[in-house]
Amino acid sequence: MRIRSSGTGALVAFVIGFGIAPAATAQQQTPAEKQAEQTPSEAPAQPKKTRIPDYPNPRTLTIGVFYWDTIPGNGPSIFTGNQAYDNETLTHLGGDHATPGLFVSIPITRTGEIKFEGFISKGDGNQTAKSTLDIFSTLINPGDYLATRYQVKSGKLYLDDLLWPYKFPVSKFRLKSLWEVQWISTNATVDAPIVNANLTTSSTVETAQGSRQVILPTFGLAAEYQLTQSVLLRADASGFGLPHRADIWDADATISWRHKKLEVVGGLKALHFKTSPQNTEYISDTIAGGFIGVNYHWQ
């Protein structure tokens, strides 16, 4: 009996001691220690990837002005149209003067920008009529000394959109498509000052005035090469015309240097236009020369 009692007591004491010890140990843990055991360890922070911009320089609203030093030439010419019954041709109204212009650009998509370019060109000259002329319904006699002057106004609104290669960031060399609407208006004045000075008030004054305009969609391509982050080379050409109707073409070759918000651009520019021959007179001209401009980029 003693042996059983002793064995049973030892067994009970062992079980009680084994059960109580862990409980006592658990009661000694602080709340902070418990929370630390329950909270999983955080993964190491991953470094953020640096996003490469689509273009070397930010594309923003841009406003600029340029000065077009046109090559001294013969100026526009008035030609006899299909509706005329006599001679309406008077060529070379005088050399073009230096021309101021305006440029505006604003991005509208990730690849495209809406741009506007406009200018006003003026010129004048002198010559002697070689034959009888009927200019803008005004009779001019052969041998009359003529003073001519004219004005050409132009506006071009167009979408400049990335064509190839279509990837981002853009390639150093890239082609762009040009979708344009061009408007050109020209007016001319042909005066016979010597004859006018000798005319009486009852005589017809020999001063002819008239204007013609053309509005056409034009299409083209532009090639760009990013020489450095700040220097861009560009050449573009566009045009459109119909047989025996009006036509327009223009072309530029430029180099530009940009520093933050300011950009200096220069190069060569040329423009040709012809109003519709389906009139008594139509006017044609080609203007070309070097230009320099300054653009301001809002950022």
Indicate the DSSP class of residue 166.
Answer: -
Cβ atoms within 10 Å, residue 172: 12
CA distance 226 to 228: 5
What's the Cα-to-Cα distance from 125 to each of 76, 122, 191, 230, rounded to whole Å? 11, 11, 11, 43
Q: What is the CATH number of the domain that holds 139?
A: 2.40.128.90
Q: How far apart are CA 226 and CA 224, in angstroms?
A: 7
Note the pTM of the prediction, 2 decimals. 0.81
Residue 206: per-residue pLDDT: 77
277 domain-assigned: yes
Residue 288 domain flag: yes
The yes-or-no verdict on residue 165 having pLDDT over 90 is yes
Predicted confidence at residue 24, as pLDDT, reads 45
Q: Which of 64, 111, 93 is nearest to 296 (CA)?
A: 64
Q: What is the pLDDT of residue 72?
A: 79
pLDDT reading at 221 higher than 80:
yes
- Positive or negative, the CA dihedral 122, 127, 130, 135 is positive
Exposed / middle / buried, residue 289 (Cβ in 10 Å: 0-12, 13-18, 19+): middle
How far is residue 93's CA from residue 90's CA, in Å, rounded to a whole number? 8
- Is the pLDDT at 69 greater than 50? The verdict is yes
264 SS3 class: strand
Q: Taking the CB of residue 165, how many other CB atoms lie within 10 A of it?
A: 10
Question: What pLDDT does residue 45 have?
Answer: 65
Q: Is 193 inside any structural domain?
A: yes
Residue 35 belongs to a domain: no
Query: In the predicted model, is pLDDT for residue 9 greater than 80?
Result: no
- For the chain, give the mean pLDDT: 87
Structure tokens at 74: 């013969």
pLDDT classification of 47: cutoffs 50, 70, 90: low
Residue 54 has pLDDT above 80, yes or no: yes
Per-residue pLDDT at 26: 47
Q: Total domain count for the chain? A: 1
- What pLDDT was estimated at residue 198? 72
Q: Please name which of 299, 297, 222, 228 lies closest in space to residue 257, comparing C-alpha atoms.
A: 228
d(CA 227, CA 221): 19
**Closest to 288 measured CA to CA, from 237, 241, 247, 246:** 237
Residue 268 covered by a domain: yes
Sequence-separated (6 or more) residues with CB below 8 Å from residue 289: 68, 69, 70, 71, 96, 268, 269, 270
pLDDT digit string, tens, across residues 236-266: 999 999 999 999 999 999 999 999 999 999 9
Q: What's the distance, CA 195 to chain centroid? A: 48
Residues 269, 253: Cα–Cα separation, whole Å = 7
pLDDT value for 299: 78
* Residue 47 domain-assigned (yes or no): no
Of 63-67, 98-102, 135-139, 196-200, the one with minimum mean pLDDT is 196-200
Contact 62, 298 (CB under 8 A): yes
Residue 20 clears pLDDT 60, i.e. is over it:
no
Contact between 146 and 133 under an 8 Å Cβ cutoff? The reply is no
Helical residues (DSSP H) of the chain, grouped into ranges: 2-27, 31-38, 193-198
Phi and psi torsions of 56, nearest 5°:
-60, -35
Task: Specify the pLDDT at position 194.
Answer: 85
- Residue 143: pLDDT band (50, 70, 90) is very high
Residue 46 falls within a domain, yes or no?
no
Q: How confident is the model at residue 190 (pLDDT cuts 50, 70, 90)?
A: very high
Q: Is residue 201 part of a domain?
A: yes
Q: What is the DSSP letter of 27?
A: H
Q: Higher pLDDT residue, 97 or 292?
A: 292
Type and span of the H or E element at 122: strand 112-128
**Cβ atoms of 101 and 293 closer than 8 Å:** yes
Mean pLDDT computed over 159-185:
97
- pLDDT number for residue 290: 97
Residue 25 has pLDDT above 50, yes or no: no
- Domain of 251 in residue numbering reads as 62-297
What tokens were used for 75?
């100026």
- At 15, the pLDDT band (50, 70, 90 cuts) reads very low
Confidence bin at 196 (pLDDT 50/70/90):
confident
